[in-house]
Amino acid sequence: MNKLNIHEVIGIGIGPFNLGMAALLEEQNIDALFFDESPSFNWHPGMLIEGSDLQVPFLADLVTFADPTSRFSFLNYLHTQKRLFSFYFFNRFDIPRREYNNYAQWVAGQLSNCHFGKSVIDIIDRPDDRPPCYEVVIEDRETKKQQHFHTKNVVVGTGTKPMVPKDLEKHLGDGVFHSSQYQYVVDELEESDSILIAGSGQSAAEIFLDQLQNQRSKPFLHWLTRSSGFFQLEAGKLGQEVFSPDYIDYFHELPFEKRKNELPNLSQLRNGVEESTLHQIYDLLYHRSVHPQELSVHIQANTEVVDIEKIDKQYKVYCFQRQQDKSFDLTVDKVVLATGYKPHIPDWFEKFRELIEWEDTNRFAVTRDYQLVFKKHRSHQIYTLSNLEHSHGPGATNLALSVLRNITIINRIVGHELYPEQQGGVFQQFGLKKDEEAK
C-alpha cells in the first residue's frame, strides 16, 4: 500500500468543462477531487442577461453526449424542478443562459468531489516518487489554511479571463468596464446620458440590445467595433460540423503553421452574433426610426478605440477609423469593453515551462487526447482543457465538444473505454483519407 493517498485525478478550476468531468467521474466512483477558488459555481454571472440564450442546443449539457441516462442530465434537472412540461411547450433547443447556470449549480451541489473556496497555489512535480505523482497545494480562501493532496493526473480547467487591449487596461474601474462585469454595473449605466460599447461579438450585441430596450429618452448609445462589420454567427449545418471529433482529428494532424493560419478563417464560427440577436436589434432600431428623435444611436465598424482619457466625470474616447485613416473622439459617461477573453494560465504553470514542448512562445504542444507533451516520457500526466484553440481548432470552447473531450480524457486515465468515444457523425470529409493519399 502506498504511504501517500494518491488520487486518480485532481481537477484545477470548476467551470462547465471540469464540472462535467466531475459528474462523469462521480457516477463511475472514480477517485477524483476538483478545486475552485470561487465560493460557489457561477457561470459568467456578469453576462446572465434576461432574455439571452445559450448558443448551443440543450443536448450540449454536462453529461448527455457521454451518457444520456445520467442523473446529471439537463432533462433530469427539468424533471426534478417540475419544469419539464414548461420546457415541452417552450419547444426550443436553445435554453436561457440563466437556466443553464441554474442547472450547472444544481449539478455542482450534488457532487462530493467538487470543493469551492479552495485556491490551488502550487503544483509540485514528484517524478521520482514510486509511483510518480503531483503534489497539489490548496489554500482555503477564508481561513488561509493549506492542505496537500497527491494525484497521478492533473486536469487544468482554469478557463479564460477578460482580455482588454494593453493601452486600455489602466482605465478599468469607475466608468470603464469589461463586459464580464456588465450585470454588476447595469444600475450605474442606467443613470448615464451616454454609453460607448466596443466589440462586435455576442456579448457586445447583447449589451447593446439590453441598453437599447431600456433606452427610452436616454442614454445615447455608441456601438463601435474594429472588425469590418457586425456579422452573423455561422449557423449553417454543414459549417457547424467543424464542432465534431472528426474535424478535431483532421485539424490536430495539420502542421502548426497551417493550424495557426486557418484560425482566422474560422472566426465566424465562434465570434459572430446570433441571427436572432441581430434581428431583435434591427427590428427595434426600425421601430424607433418611425420617430427619428427617439433613435439615439451611433453604430460604426472599422473603428478602433485607441485610448481613453478621464475628464471630470466623463471619458474622452479616442477612436480611429481604420479604412479612412482618420481619428476622432467621443465624450461619454461610461465605456463597456466587450473585447473578449484569453486563456487563464495559472502562475504555478511557469515551473513546467522548461519541461514541456512549445509550438511557439505562448502556445504549448498538446496531444490529440489533451495531454501536455513532456520532453521526457512520464506516466503521470497533465491534461489541459484551456488554451487549446491552436491545437484542436475552433471547438476549444464549445460546450458539446467539452463532453466528448472529457470522455477522451477519462478513458485515457482509466486505461479503457469507460464511455464510448463518438466518431463519424458528420456528412463531410475534411481531408484525404490514408488510402486516398498519393503513393
| 345-403 pLDDT tens trace | 999 999 999 999 999 998 999 999 999 999 999 999 999 999 999 999 988 888 889 99
Residue 431 placed within a domain: no
Range of the domain at 356: 6-159+344-414
Residues 168 and 121 in one domain: no
Which pLDDT belongs to residue 2? 47
Helix (H, G, I), strand (E, B) or coil at 185: helix
User: Is position 262 within any domain?
Assistant: no
Q: What is the pLDDT of residue 204?
A: 96
Q: Are 155 and 301 contained in the same domain?
A: no
At what angle are helices 16-27 and 97-108 packed, to 10 degrees?
40
Question: Do 86 and 202 belong to one domain?
Answer: no
- In 10 A of CB 128, how many CB atoms? 6
Residue range 401-413: average pLDDT? 96
- Do 277 and 323 share a domain, yes or no? yes
Last residue of a domain, one of 289, 317, 341: 341
Instruction: Say if CB 149 and CB 7 are below 8 A apart.
Output: yes
Residue 102 in domain: yes
Last residue of a domain, one of 287, 314, 341: 341
Both 69 and 178 in one domain: the answer is no
Model confidence over 234-288: pLDDT tens digits? Answer: 888 898 899 999 999 999 999 999 999 999 888 877 788 999 999 999 999 999 9
* pLDDT for res 1: 38
* Whether 134 and 62 share a structural domain: yes
C-alpha cell at 81: 424542478
438: pLDDT confidence band, cut at 50, 70 and 90?
low
Please give the torsion angle defined by the CA atoms of residues 95, 99, 248 and 376, in that order, rounded to the nearest 10 degrees: 180
Dihedral of CA 38/43/44/48: which sign?
A: negative
Backbone phi, then psi, for 198, in 5-degree steps?
A: -110, 130
Model confidence pLDDT, tens digit, residues 4-53: 899 999 999 999 999 999 999 999 999 999 999 999 999 999 999 999 99
Assess if residue 252 is contained within a domain: no
Asked if residue 259 is part of any domain, the answer here is: no
Note if the pTM is more than 0.75. Answer: yes
Q: How far apart are CA 31 and CA 151, in angstroms?
A: 10
In this structure, are 187 and 135 located in the same domain?
no
Average pLDDT of the chain is: 94
Strand-pairing partners, residue 314, are: 311
Q: Residue 294: inside a domain, yes or no?
A: yes
Mean of the pLDDT values across residues 333-344? 95
Per-residue pLDDT at 234: 83
Q: Which pLDDT does position 423 carry in this prediction?
A: 77
| 202 and 59 within one domain | no
- If pLDDT is split at 50, 70 and 90, which confidence band does 439 have? low
Same domain, 41 and 181: no
Domain of 133: which CATH number? 3.50.50.60
Last residue of a domain, one of 341, 357, 381: 341
pLDDT at site 36 = 98
Q: Is the bond preceding 131 in cis, omega lying within 30 degrees of 0?
A: yes
Q: How many domains does the chain have?
A: 2
Percent of the chain residues past pLDDT 70, beyond the cut = 98
114 with 229, same domain? no
Q: Are residues 283 and 391 in the same domain?
A: no
Tens-place pLDDT, residues 50-61: 999 998 899 999
Q: Is the pLDDT of residue 436 over 70?
A: no
> If DSSP states are collapsed to H, E and C, what string results for 351-374?
HHHHHECECCCCCECECCCCEECE
Does residue 235 or residue 196 have the better pLDDT?
196
Give percent of the chain above pLDDT 90: 85
Tell me what pLDDT residue 174 has.
86
Look at residue 434 and tell me if it is in a domain. no
Which residue would you say has higher pLDDT here, 174 or 140?
Answer: 140
Averaged pLDDT for residues 173-179: 94
Q: Same domain, yes or no, for 195 and 299?
A: yes
CA gap 140, 353 in Å, rounded: 27
Residue 280 lies in a domain: yes
